[in-house]
Amino acid sequence: MNAYRRSTFGFTLVHLFVVIGIICLLLAFVLPAINQAREAARRMSCENNMKILVLEQHNFHDTYGRFPKVLGGTNGSLDPMQSNLGRRSPWVDLIPYIESSPVPHQIENPLTTDVATYPGGGPAPWISDYPPWQLNWSWFECPAATREPSELGQTNYAFCIGDLARDIHEPKKLRGVFGGGLTCNFRDVTDGTSNTILLGEIGTRSGRAVVGQYAIKVSGNILDKPSLHTQFRSPGKGWFYDDKFELSEYGRGGRWADGSAGDSQFNTILPPNSPSCTVGAKEAGDGLYSAGSFHPGGANVALADGSVRFITSDIDTGDLTKPTLTVEQMSQPNVASPFGIWGALGTIDAGDESGDD
C-alpha cells in the first residue's frame, strides 16, 4: 500500500511540473505580446493628445492670424511676483481652446489667495504658490511618461524651434515655427506644413534618465561640435546621465507654464532620446534641447498640417561634428540645416527637402 501511494504521489508531481513548464512557456510568448499591445495603446493615446493640441493651435491661428509666442506674457516689472517676466509658454494662451474651465479667467485677472495677491497674467512661471501653475492637465501628459512628484504642473509636449541653438531666447529670426518672442503664421512656413514640425514629445524628470533631464552650466564647445553629447551619458548605463554632470532642478517639461527652452522647447539637431544641455546657465540658456519620450525607439512629433509621425532615434541628423549655425548665418534667408532630415523637418523656410525618415 505504501509503495502504491509513493508511486501515485511521484506521478502527480511529474504532471505538475509539466503543467508549470507549459504555463511558463505560454507566458514567455504571451507577455511580450501584451506589453506590445499596451505600448501601442499608449502611443495611440499620445498621438491623439498631439492631434488635439495641434488643432487648438490652428484654432488660435484662425483667431489671431499667427501661432502663439513661445515666450510671451507681461514684462511690466522685474519682480517675479508682479510680472511673469515674458516667460509664459504658449500653453497659457492655448488653454481656453483646449479646456473649458475657469482657469484662463483666473490667470488673466488679479487673483488673491491666502498667500498673496497675484497680477493679471500671472506671476513668473516658477512661483509655486500660484494655483494655476500647480495644475497638471491630462492633455499635456503622455501615458508612457514617468514623472516625479512636483509642486508645479508638468508637460510632455514642447514647441519646435528648428535647428536654433544660439540666442535661443532672443533670436533675431525664426528657424522653426517658434522662437523667443517672435511670431509665425502659415504664410511663413514656405517649406510646407507637411514637412515642418510644430510640436514634439519631451520626457519629464525621472531620476537621472536622459529623456527627462538636461545638464546645466556646460561648456559652449557643445555648440561647436554637437557630437560631444555622448559625454553626458553614463558609461555602461547610457539611458542615464553621468554623475559628474549637474542636472536641472525641475527637468524637461518641469513647468508647463514656462516657455524657457528647458521646459517648453526642443531643437532638431540631436536625434530623439538624446541628452539635452544648457550652456553656462541653469535653464534659460543656449544649448541642445532634444525631443524624447519613454516610448521605445523614438518620439512622436506633430507637423504643422496636423498629422503626427513617430520619429526614430536613428533618423538622419547630418554631420554632428559640424558647428550649429551662427547668429549671422541664421539671419540669412533660405539657409539649409546642416543636420540632415531631422534638421530639415524643424525649419520653416530653409528651402531644403525633409524627405521621410
**What is the per-residue pLDDT across 49-86, written as a single tens digit (0 to 9) for each?**
999 999 999 999 999 999 999 999 998 789 999 999 99
Is residue 187 in a domain?
A: yes
Say which residues have a Cβ less than 8 Å from residue 84's Cβ, sequence separation at least 6: 73, 74, 121, 122, 123, 124, 125
Cell numbers given for 214: 538636461
Q: Could you give the CA distance from residue 21 to residue 3 in angstroms, rounded to a whole number?
A: 27
- Report pLDDT for 6: 47
In a domain, 90, yes or no: no
Burial of 169 (0-12, 13-18, 19+ CB in 10 A): buried
Q: Report residue 106 as a C-alpha cell.
A: 483666473
Nearest to 342 by CA among 354, 331, 352: 354
Q: Is residue 82 part of a domain?
A: no
* Contact predicate 234/194, CB 8 Å: no
Distance from C-alpha of 160 to C-alpha of 140, rounded to nearest angstrom: 15
**CA of residue 235 relative to chain centroid, distance:** 24
153 domain residue, yes or no: yes
Amino acid at 253: G
> Where is 49: in which H helix or E strand?
helix 2-64
> Residues with Cβ < 8 Å from 139, sequence gap 6 or more?
49, 52, 53, 98, 99
| Domain limits for position 259 | 38-69+142-346
Q: Are 296 and 190 in contact (CB under 8 A)?
A: no
Q: How many domains is the chain partitioned into structurally?
A: 1
3-state secondary structure of 143: coil
Q: Is residue 241 domain-resident?
A: yes
pLDDT at position 43: 87
Which pLDDT belongs to residue 199?
A: 98
Across-strand partners of 312? 298
Could you read off the pLDDT tens digit of each residue along the chain, which spans 357 residues? Answer: 444 444 444 557 766 777 787 787 777 766 666 666 777 788 899 999 999 999 999 999 999 999 999 999 998 789 999 999 999 999 999 999 988 889 999 999 999 999 999 999 999 999 999 999 999 999 999 999 988 999 999 999 999 999 999 999 999 999 999 999 999 999 999 999 999 999 999 999 999 999 999 999 999 999 999 999 999 999 989 899 999 999 999 999 999 999 999 999 999 999 999 999 999 888 889 999 999 999 999 999 999 999 999 999 999 999 999 999 999 999 898 899 999 999 999 999 988 655 544
- Which pLDDT score, from 0 to 100, does residue 39 have? 73
Within-domain flag for 303: yes
As a whole number of Å, the CA-based R_g of the chain is 24
Cα separation, 331 vs 123, in Å, equals 33
Strands 197-201 and 277-279: unpaired
Indicate the SS3 state at residue 56. Answer: helix
pTM assigned to the model: 0.89
pLDDT for position 1: 45
Q: Collapsing DSSP states into helix, strand and coil, what is residue 144?
A: coil
How many other CB atoms are found less than 10 A from the CB of residue 293? 27
Domain presence at residue 48: yes
Cell 533675431 sits on residue = 172
Q: What pLDDT was estimated at residue 354?
A: 59
- What pLDDT is attached to residue 19? 74
In a domain, 276, yes or no: yes
Q: What local confidence, expressed as pLDDT, does residue 24 receive?
A: 79
CA separation (Å) from 139 to 16, 44, 99?
49, 13, 9
